[in-house]
Structure 1
Amino acid sequence: MRGIYITANDKFTEQAIALLNSIRHYDPDVSITLIPYDENYHEVAALLKEQYGVKVYADLAFIERLSQKLYDIFGAGFFARPNQFRKQACWFGEYDEFLYIDTDIVVFEAIAQNLDALQTYDFLCCDYQHRGGIGNVFSPKIFSDGVLVERDRASLFNGGWWAAKKNLLSEQDLYDTFAECAAHPDYFDFSQKTSDQPIINYMILKRIPPERRFNLVNRPGGAPGSWAGSPQFVPLGDDALADPNCDGQRLQYLHWAGIRITPGCPYWRIWKHYRYLHSDAIPADPPPPPPPSWVEQVKRRVRRLF
């Protein structure tokens, strides 16, 4: 079986609607399963089931046990968003081949078709995270101590989009990985409040051989970008974007990682298009906030200085 996992709770219903509208627009039949982000998920789960046929992960008790054990390894208060680790239940769910997608994404193709590459590889990602350096993932010490080698820098990936095979890693692999990371927190960059991305990168790099993992942007002919913080994308109508830095290729998906999705954010019109794809009425954007007063400008300059 093939399918897509997402995580969400009631707070992120709007993002989940936009994501599901885009997935179903290009692939009406792919199976999708919700991993609840926390206990406040019943409203979004009911909506996604009714409108998009999304199932809830069958073994909720397992998710609780898994996430609590992973949390306990590092200790209370270490991670800013420990519930991000609930997505690790993907390894043990119903799909033999699966794709995990964050809800701050919209897709521009039948995204599950990328799972075809699992005929050759065991793990897939699809982004240019590695070009931005090791920030939000590792500290230089993990390389200087020889835990990772220099070639591993080119394999860093964003934790919001990845694909793999069921049971490729065991539950004990997860616990052992977290214990290794907890013993050396100085190997990781948690300065920007990231939680799962450093750990999952370490786990994949250490436990899956290089020849069994593949970043789809390295395919022949190259691949377009996917981060909404990239300013060069140009619209292809109202429902897609192209990357002029990659021969005008159509983007596969767009990810607002680290960007708050609100009016005025990068590529807001694309997100709004998918959020209201099947709505009779599309709300008008609120007016932009007034410019800060000179007093507020002075306060901001003082805060930047001190």
Structure 2
Amino acid sequence: MIRGIYIVANDRVIENAIALLNSIRLYDKDVQVYLIPFNDNYHQVADKLATLHNVKIFPDLELIEKFTNRIGEIFDRDFLALPNKMRKLVAWFGPLDEFIYIDTDIVVFEKIADNLNKLAEVDFFCCDYHHANDKLRNIFSPFVKEQNIFTDAQLEDVFNSGFWASKKGTITEQQMDEALRECANHREYFDFSEGVTDQPILNYLILKLIAKRGNLVKIPGGGPGSWANSRNFQQEEYVLYDKGKRLQYLHWAGTKMKIGSPYWKLWEHYRYLHEGKFALISKLNRRLFSLMNFRT
């Protein structure tokens, strides 16, 4: 059995991708990580992550291209804000038998692939409090509950699409194609009001097609949170804790990454983990010197 991690990235998110992989490799030197290209502009990030952390390109680029074209055929142009975000769904048809998908605006605080042991009990799991805090927001419209499209119990399993895990083949290509066409025919099911793309569709697929689901925070006493806009986490060294419980990861979902963002210095630590303070200062000085010379 082959286990590992999938990410989706292009050159635009190279800084976030480096920070994520630095954190993954800090705790796990060996787990296989595959990059699913977001678009054709991915060669810089692919080369960097391959050099630093032995990240491999998803081996079937033709499959990704076919899947992207299929998404364009199924959905109207104005249905999905960023259709290429749907590329993460090829994870069910890739080389990994068991996998975790992780967004690049995340850093982890543990050997994250060990959570794949949960797949001995379920066929899919997530790890967040979307069900408790945001309820159906950014996933489903009130119509879904009013028309009993899903039961109340099923709707308790909604999740953020930035961190989740499953098994290859749990969803077949035919099942996915049929479910995606159902989504395309029922725009009224979804809440796209804040610009999300893949999250509502992915939630529909999981609730519709995978019965054995889990959430790592649904344990006695509750698990730690993970959202960077939660300002109540405590920091020790470069790890965060939620009421004494070590976070598994931190996710800057919906937050523009920049100086002043929540936990920015923590992110900087992981981004420059192997470069050191003086290397960072030197890099900034060289950039400033270059700009000054250019202006003269």
Q: TM-score, normalised by structure 2?
A: 0.92
| SS of corresponding position for 1:158 | coil
| SS of corresponding position for 1:164 | strand
Pairwise CA distance, 1:174: 1.4
Distance in structure 1 (CA, Å) of the matches to 2:88 and 2:12: 17
Per-residue displacement from partner, 1:3-49 (whole Å, max 9, x unpaired)? 00001001110000000000000101100000000000011101111
| SS of corresponding position for 1:201 | helix
1:144 to 128, 143, 146: 146
| SS of corresponding position for 1:106 | strand
Distance in structure 2 (CA, Å) of the matches to 1:240 and 1:149: 38
Structure 1 counterpart of 2:290: none
Distance in structure 1 (CA, Å) of the matches to 2:104 and 2:73: 26
Structure 2 counterpart of 1:12: 13
| SS of corresponding position for 2:117 | helix
Structure 2 counterpart of 1:295: none
Distance in structure 2 (CA, Å) of the matches to 1:154 and 1:145: 16
2:262 to 263, 266, 280: 266
Per-residue displacement from partner, 1:233-263 (whole Å, max 9, x unpaired)? 11111x110112xxx1010000000001111
Distance in structure 2 (CA, Å) of the matches to 1:139 and 1:71: 23
Judge which range, 134-143 or 66-75, deviates more.
66-75
Pairwise CA distance, 1:219: 2.2
Task: Give the 3 Å change call, closer, same or farther, for CA 263–283 of structure 1 in structure 2.
Answer: farther
Letter in 1 for 2:122: Y
Structure 1 counterpart of 2:287: none
Structure 2 counterpart of 1:84: 85
Do residues 220 (structure 1) and 220 (structure 2) align?
Answer: yes
Identity within the alignment, %: 51
Structure 2 counterpart of 1:203: 205
Structure 1 counterpart of 2:163: 161
Structure 1 counterpart of 2:45: 44
Do residues 33 (structure 1) and 34 (structure 2) align?
Answer: yes
Structure 1 counterpart of 2:103: 102
| SS of corresponding position for 2:241 | strand
| SS of corresponding position for 1:178 | helix
Judge which range, 70-79 or 30-39, deviates more.
70-79
Mapping for residues 47-58 of structure 1, pairs under 5 Å: 47-58=48-59
Q: What is the RMSD of the two structures over their aligned residues, measured on CA atoms?
A: 1.3
Distance in structure 2 (CA, Å) of the matches to 1:133 and 1:221: 20
Structure 1 residues without counterparts, runs of 5 or longer: 287-306
Do residues 230 (structure 1) and 233 (structure 2) align?
Answer: no
Pairwise CA distance, 1:283: 4.5
Letter in 1 for 2:173: E
CA contact (8 A) 1:136 1:190 kept: yes
Task: Give the 3 Å change call, closer, same or farther, for CA 85–61 of structure 1 in structure 2.
Answer: same
| SS of corresponding position for 1:40 | coil
CA contact (8 A) 1:4 1:101 kept: yes
Per-residue displacement from partner, 1:217-237 (whole Å, max 9, x unpaired)? 012342100000111111111
Structure 1 counterpart of 2:131: 130
Distance in structure 2 (CA, Å) of the matches to 1:221 and 1:144: 31
Pairwise CA distance, 1:67: 1.8
CA contact (8 A) 1:3 1:32 kept: yes
Q: TM-score, normalised by structure 1?
A: 0.89
Structure 2 counterpart of 1:289: none
Distance in structure 2 (CA, Å) of the matches to 1:225 and 1:126: 9
Structure 2 counterpart of 1:282: 280
CA contact (8 A) 1:70 1:175 kept: no
Distance in structure 1 (CA, Å) of the matches to 2:190 and 2:45: 33
Letter in 2 for 1:241: L
Aligned length: 279
Pairwise CA distance, 1:144: 1.0
Distance in structure 2 (CA, Å) of the matches to 1:111 and 1:283: 31
Pairwise CA distance, 1:273: 0.5
Do residues 243 (structure 1) and 252 (structure 2) align?
Answer: no
